Amino acid sequence: MADRFQGKQGLVLGVANKRSIAWAIAKRLAEEGAQLAFTFQGERIEKSVRELADSVQSPLVTECDVRSDEDVSRVVAEAGKAFAGGLDFLVHSVAYAAAEDLEGRFTDTPRDRFWMAIDVSAYSLVACARAAEPLMAARGGGSLVTMTYLGGERAVPHYNVMGVAKATLDASVRYLAWDLGQNNIRINAVSAGPVRTLAARSIAGFPTMEAIVEERSPLHRHIDAEDVAAGAAYLLSDEADNVTGTTLYVDSGYHAMGM
């Protein structure tokens, strides 16, 4: 299992710092032999991402605005060039909603910020899949994985518009699975329990979410980024060769409970 990704090359979107779920996934893939390219969003995190990328000898670190189709196409093309014209996998760990929309009432979400959350958190996956498809087809197939959350299926207080964005993401995974399957390209999602990341800090009541999962999940324990990385690595690997259009829950079983 230590060399599942030997000779494989992929693009990772969404690393912010060493506590990011995207970084945990990237580190796991690199440890298993993968060669990785990375994106970052904005100068504020560029230094951190470059340092992490250097630690796994990445050949490409580039800025990407996922709200721009042109930028997404450019980034994927750069990755393809770095990897001799092909791409084996893509990790999509990108989501955003305004902090003020992750507290208070969902009803109060303004139209412009509603669409921003959908654009960044869900449509970006469609844009990435569209750009990556030819490069994966050139390799005879490939795999994509994205990060979702139970708040897309059930109402989670304070998750608000991000829950709606995750619901859109979940549906997109299923429709993309149908389209991409003709080129032997798989796409799946990991639904993680609460993980202490930079993004999680912006969700009002996050400690309560953690406490409830620990109390009510069958395994009665927290989730960490390494747990999510293990699930994502499985979905991206050849071991999941016939798994597509699905969601893998890494949440100590919390999703299975009724209360």
Q: Do the domain assignments include residue 193?
A: yes
Domain holding 101, by residue range, is: 9-250
Angle between helices 69-82 and 124-137 (to 10 degrees): 30
Q: Is the model's pTM score more than 0.85?
A: yes
Residue 120 belongs to a domain: yes
Residues annotated as catalytic (active site), given as ranges: 149, 159
* 1 domain-assigned: no
Look at residue 235 and tell me if it is in a domain: yes
The 3-state secondary structure of 15-52 reads CCCCCCHHHHHHHHHHHCCCEEEEEECCHHHHHHHHHH
Q: Determine, yes or no, domain membership for 229.
A: yes
For residue 169, give the CATH number of its domain.
3.40.50.720
Q: Are 170 and 247 in contact (CB under 8 A)?
A: yes
pLDDT of residue 205: 65
Beta-carbon contacts of 214 under 8 Å, excluding residues fewer than 6 positions away, are: 220, 221, 222, 252
The pLDDT of residue 203 is: 62
What residue type is 124 in one-letter code?
A: S
State the total domains in the chain. Answer: 1
How far apart CA 196 and CA 218 sit, in angstroms, is 20
pLDDT at 208: 76
pLDDT profile of the chain (259 residues), mean per 10: 90 96 97 98 94 98 98 98 97 96 94 98 98 98 97 93 98 98 98 76 68 88 93 98 98 90
Q: Which residues contact 81 (CB under 8 A, 6 or more apart)?
A: none
Q: What is the model's pLDDT at position 40?
A: 96
For residue range 207-236, list pLDDT tens digits in order.
777 788 888 899 998 889 999 999 999 999
In a domain, 4, yes or no: no
pLDDT for 214: 85
Angle (CA) 16-20-22 rounded to 5° is: 90
